[in-house]
Chain A
Amino acid sequence: MANTVIGSSIVIDGEISGDEPVIVQGTVKGRIAVSESVYVENAGTLEADVEGDSVEIGGTVTGNVTARTRVEIKAEGKMVGDVKSPRILIADGALFKGNIDMDVER
């Protein structure tokens, strides 16, 4: 039970915080702030600002993403918002609109 999982039919309206990885298969509106990784799976939808160690986007994200290590927008991922992280990957096929800031120490 190491991962927090938001299942595909679940909608969370508010804030998720903690220090374990979060896997989103459903919908989160609001904010996610964790010290571990955040995974937005293909069916996952975020209308939220995200803070995490690393953030992997295979679903749809609307909001700003800040990651201490890296952000990956996969081929199936769609994202609108600003990304701030020292390492950012955008795969071929991904949709992205927003600002990228890699000028982050650490």
Chain B
Amino acid sequence: MAKAPTIITASTTVDGRVEGSEDVEIYGAVRGAIRLVGDLYVDGEARVDAEVEVTSVAIHGILVGNVQASDSIEIFGSARVVGDLTAPRVVLHDGALYRGTIDMGEAPDEGADRGTRGASRPAPARSAPARPAPSRPAPPPARPAPPPRKEAPPPEPAVEDEDGEDDDDEPALPDAAGKKKVQVKKRK
């Protein structure tokens, strides 16, 4: 237990499968699949594009893929997650961006109901996972919430915005560089 966990550092990319029976911390990127008997930590700067099967996972960064945990899945406020989640305990914190389906197993009283629920949208009976979902598209008066996040609904538009900014910057840069070069030549 005193042993250091497996760590994928910020500038490191793993392309393929990660398997084992210990805790893993990801600060960099993993693409492929992660299967652990152990806890997974996805840092705020990390990016994971993988099918994930673990004991528990704490997500602070970006995760795209389906996640299955035998214990718990916790998505923190800084996280952006796209994919279906399956775990007996799922925690979605305020500010987290999430798109997908959450399955916390059957409620104790309605085992027979499961078939229909699995096929269609989750029944409103399940309040815990359902609550964050409707509150996002329709801005509710109940939650004052951070304004910038409200304007950009799912993760993708935000990424496009970033690209747009880059595009705006890039045309400007060559002009500036060009002017500088001209000046240097003149001086020489």
For residue B135, CB closer than 8 A to chain A, the reply is no
The interface size of chain A toward B, counting residues with CB under 8 Å, comes to: 24
Question: Bound complex: CA of A7 vs CA of B20, how far in Å?
Answer: 8
B11→A20 contact, CB < 8 A: yes
The residue of chain B having its C-beta at the shortest distance from the C-beta of A33 within the complex is B13
Q: B9-43 CB contact bits vs A (8 Å, 1 = yes)?
A: 11111111111111111011000100000000000
Question: Bound complex: CA of A15 vs CA of B32, how far in Å?
Answer: 10
Question: Bound complex: CA of A19 vs CA of B9, how far in Å?
Answer: 9
Question: Bound complex: CA of A55 vs CA of B25, how far in Å?
Answer: 23
For residue A99, CB closer than 8 A to chain B, the reply is no
Contact of A8 among B10, B16, B22 (CB under 8 A): B22
> In the complex, what's the smallest C-beta–C-beta distance from A20 to chain B, in angstroms?
4
> In the complex, what's the smallest C-beta–C-beta distance from A63 to chain B, in angstroms?
15
Among B8, B11, B12, B32, the one with the most A-chain Cβ atoms within 10 Å of its Cβ is B12
B5→A15 contact, CB < 8 A: no
B16→A1 contact, CB < 8 A: no
Question: Bound complex: CA of A19 vs CA of B23, how far in Å?
Answer: 22
Contact of B12 among A9, A14, A18 (CB under 8 A): A18
For residue A102, CB closer than 8 A to chain B, the reply is no
B16→A14 contact, CB < 8 A: yes
Q: Which residues of B contact A19 (CB under 8 A)?
A: 11-12
B3→A7 contact, CB < 8 A: yes
Q: CB within 8 Å of A: which of B99-116?
A: none
Q: Which residues of A contact B25 (CB under 8 A)?
A: 1
Question: Bound complex: CA of A17 vs CA of B31, how far in Å?
Answer: 12
A34→B20 contact, CB < 8 A: no
Q: CB within 8 Å of B: which of A1-52?
A: 1-20, 22, 26, 30, 34
Question: Bound complex: CA of A92 vs CA of B128, how far in Å?
Answer: 63
Question: Bound complex: CA of A19 vs CA of B188, how far in Å?
Answer: 39
Question: Bound complex: CA of A9 vs CA of B18, how far in Å?
Answer: 10
Question: Bound complex: CA of A20 vs CA of B11, how far in Å?
Answer: 7
What would be 20 A-B contacts, judged by CB atoms less than 8 Å apart?
Answer: A1-B10, A4-B9, A4-B12, A5-B4, A5-B5, A7-B6, A10-B6, A10-B19, A10-B20, A11-B17, A12-B14, A12-B18, A13-B17, A14-B32, A15-B13, A15-B16, A18-B12, A18-B28, A22-B12, A30-B16
Supplied contacts A7-B4, A15-B16, 12 more A-B pairs, CB within 8 Å = A1-B27, A2-B9, A4-B9, A5-B5, A10-B19, A12-B16, A15-B14, A18-B13, A18-B28, A19-B11, A26-B20, A30-B16
